Structure 1
Amino acid sequence: MSKRLTAFYWMTVPAVVLFFVFMTLPALQGIYYSFTNWNGFGKHYDFIGFRNYANLFTDSNVGNAYLFTFKFAIVVTILINVLSLLIALGLNARIKARNFFRGIYFLPNILSVLIVGYIFNYLFSNVFTIWGQNLGIHAFSTNILGNENLAWIGVVIVAVWQGIAFNTILYLAGLQTIPASLYEASNLDGASRWQEFWRITFPLISPFFTINMVLAMKNSLMVFDQIVALTNGGPGRATQSISHLIYIGGFQGGEFAYQSANSVIYLIVIAIISILQLKFLQGRESDM
C-alpha cells in the first residue's frame, strides 16, 4: 500500500471516530435502554424485555402521533414535489434574470427551520388574522394554529414553503442534463408541451424525481422543528408528530426507556418506507 493511500485512510479516522461517538454510540445506547424501565434519571433500572415495545401498540397517543405524521408526510411530499417541479420547469425556461429567481427560490433552504417557524407563528397569529378581518374573509380572521382541525394545515404550509427550495435545485440540475436537440426534434415532429413533458422531460429526470421523493418523505416523517415553533403539538395533541412525542415523553415526561423503544420502531418504519420507495420508483425508472 502506497504512502499516499495510507495517508488517505488515516484522514478518514477522525470522521469515523466522531460519527461513532456522536451517532452510532447514542443509537446503541438507546436500543439498550429500550429494554429497561429507566426514566432518564439516576442509575437504578430493571430489564423488562419487550414490554415497552408491546405497550407502544396499545398506546393511543403513539397511534395518534403516527397517524398525524403519516398524513402530514404524504401531503407534504406530494405538494413539495409537484410545486418544485413546476417552479424548476419555469426557471429552466428562457426567462430574464432566471439566476436571480433561482437564488430567491433557494433562500428558504438556508434559513433556520425554527426561525422560519416562529416567524410564521407570528404571521398566523397576528398578521393574517388582521388581514382576514379587514377583508371580511372569515377563514383568515382567526388563527388556524389554534384550531384543532386546521392547525396541521399551517404546519404543512410552512414545511412546503421551506422544503420546495432544495427540491427545486435538484430538479433544475436534472433538467440541465437533457440535450436541447431532443426538444428540437420533438418540435419538428409536432409534439405538444404536454407530450414533451411525459415523453422526454419526466423520463429523463426520473432519477432526480426518485431522490426528491425519498428525501421529502424522510424529512417529512422526521418533522420536529416546525411543530415546536408553530404548535408545540397542540391544540391538545392534534399536531403531535412522532419526533415531538419522543422528545416530550423522553426528556420531559420521564419515559426515557419507553420513548427509546418508540424511536427504535420509528427508525425501522422510516427505513422500510425509504427502501420501498426506492424499489418502487427505481422500478418505474427502468420501465420508462
Structure 2
Amino acid sequence: MKTRGFGPGAAFALLTVPAVVLYAAFFLVPVFIGFYYSLTDWDGFSLSYKMVGLKNYINILQDKRFLNAMSFTLLYTAIIVVFKLGIALILAMLLSQSLKLRGLFRSIYFFPAVLSMITVGMVFNQFFYSLFPPIGEALGIEWLSRNLLGNPDTAIYGVALTNIWQGFATPMVIFIAGLASVPKDLTEAALIDGATPVQRFFSVTLPFLIPMLTVNVVLAIKGGLTVFDYIVAMTGGGPSKSTESLGFLIYQHGMNEMKFGYGTAEAIYVFLLIGLVSFVQIKLLSRKEAGQQ
C-alpha cells in the first residue's frame, strides 16, 4: 500500500511556517499594537486611556522639540554616512592590497566593532573631558582644547566622531568582500588603456561595489536615524537638549515623561522616514550597479 507524501510546494510552505510565525509575532503584531496606542493618550502605566485619533500625529508636526530632534538626527546621519563609509572604503582598498601582516591589520581595524556602544561612549566621554583638552592646549589647537560635548554647537561632532571610530569596521569588511568580486581582467585592461587610478576606480571598481555600498548606506542611515546608546552614554541629550536624537526623544516621552501614546506616534514617523529614505537610496544606487542600464 502506497502512501502519498507532501509535494515540493507543500513541503516548502511548511518550512516557511516557523519563520512567518516568528516574523508576525515579533514584528507585525508589535507594529499594529504600536499604531493603535499612537491613537491614544495612554501614559504607559494607567489601565484607562482615551482615543484621540490623529491628534498626536498633528501635534508632533508642530512640536519644536521634535523638529529640533529631527534636525539633529538628519545632520548626524549625514555626517556618519559620509565619513564612516568614506573611511571604510579607503581602508578596505588599502587592506585588499598584498601587504605583510594584512590579516593582523584587518583584525586590529575590526576590533572596535566588537565593543559595546555604551562602553565606547563612556570611554570617549572621558577622553573628551580629561584627555583631549590638555593635548589641544599643548599643541595650541583651540577647538581641541575645549570639551566638544560641553558646547551645544560642537556636541554633535563629538558624538559623531565616536560613532565613526567604532562603526567603520563593519562596512569595511563588506567593502573588502566586494573588492574581491571585481574582475582582475577589467582592471588590467583599464591599466593597459592608460586609465588613471581615479578613472579605474569610478569606471571599473565602483560599479561592482554598488550592492555593498547600498547595504552599507542603508545600515548607516538606519543607525544614524535611530541613534540612542551614544546619546545616553555621552550627553544625555544635552547640553541644552542640543543632542536630543529622535530615538532618545521617543524614549524620554514614552518612559520618563509618561507620554507613551505620543512617543509611539513619534516612533511611527521615524519608521516611515527610515523606510522612505532607504527606498529612495536603493533605487538611486541600483541604477549605477554593474550590468544595469
In structure 1, how many angstroms separate the alpha carbons of the residues matched to 2:219 and 2:211?
12
1:59-84: per-residue Cα shift (whole Å, max 9, x none)?
00000000111111111111112111
1:225-250, CA deviations, whole angstroms, 9 ceiling, x for partnerless residues? 11111111110110111000000111
Distance 1:10 1:226 in 2: 42
Q: 1:221 aligns with which of 212, 225, 231?
A: 225
1:34 correspondence with 2:38: yes
In structure 2, runs of 5+ residues without a counterpart are none
SS of the residue corresponding to residue 47 of structure 2 reads coil
CA distance in 2, matches of 1:125, 1:21: 44
Name the amino acid aligned to 1:25.
V
- SS of the equivalent of 2:168 reads helix
- The reply on whether 1:261 has 2:265 as its aligned counterpart is yes
Asked whether the 8 Å contact 2:121–2:162 carries over to 1, the reply is yes
- 1:95 maps onto 2:118 in alignment: no
Q: How does 1:74-223 map to 2 (within 5 A)?
A: 74-223=78-227
Q: How does 1:61-72 map to 2 (within 5 A)?
A: 61-72=65-76
Shift of 1:190: 2.2
- The one-character-per-residue Cα deviations of 1:168-224 (angstroms, maximum 9, x if unpaired) are 111111100112222222222222211211121112212212221222112111111
Which deviations, in whole Å up to 9, do the C-alpha atoms of 1:250-274 show, x marking residues without a partner?
Answer: 1000110011111111111111111
> Would the aligned equivalents of 2:207 and 2:288 in 1 still touch at CA under 8 Å?
no
Aligned to 1:243: 247
TM-score between both structures, scaled by the size of structure 1:
0.93
Residue identity opposite 1:99 in structure 2: G
Match of 1:47 in 2: 51
Give the corresponding residue for 2:63: 59
- Mean Cα deviation higher: 18-27 or 216-225: 18-27
Distance 2:134 2:19 in 1: 51
Q: 1:137 deviation in Å?
A: 2.9
Q: In 2 relative to 1, CA 275–52 (structure 1 residues): closer, same or farther, beyond 3 Å?
A: same
| Counterpart residue identity of residue 65, structure 1 | A
> What's the TM-score, normalizing by structure 2?
0.91
| Number of equivalent positions | 288
Q: Secondary structure at the match of 1:223?
A: coil
Task: Give the Cα separation in 1 of the matches to 2:150 and 2:268.
Answer: 32
Q: Which runs of 5+ in 1 are unaligned?
A: none
Cα distance in 1 for partners of 2:218, 2:26 equals: 25
Q: Between the two proteins, what is the percent identity of the paired residues? A: 39
What RMSD over aligned residues (CA atoms) do the two structures have, in Å?
2.0
Partner Cα separation in structure 2 for residue 225 and residue 205 of structure 1 = 30
How far apart are the structure 2 equivalents of 1:121 and 1:7?
A: 54
1:274 corresponds to:
278
Q: Is the 8 A contact 2:117 2:230 kept in 1?
A: yes
Deviation at 1:9, TM superposition (A): 5.9
Which of 23, 26, 29 is 1:22 aligned to? Answer: 26
Shift of 1:37: 0.7
Superimposed CA distance per residue, residues 4-41 of structure 1 (whole angstroms, 9 cap, x where no aligned partner): 98777666555544443333332222111111111111
Q: Using the TM superposition, name which of 240-249 and 207-216 deviates more.
A: 207-216
Q: Note closer, same or farther for the CA distance 1:105–1:4 as it changes in structure 2 (3 Å cut).
A: farther
Cα distance in 1 for partners of 2:286, 2:60 equals 33
Alignment partners' CA distance in 2, 1:213 and 1:109: 17
Q: Whole-Å Cα distance in 2 between the matches of residues 5 and 130 of structure 1?
A: 68
| Deviation (angstroms), 1:2 | 3.8
Cα distance in 2 for residues equivalent to 1:187 and 1:276: 34
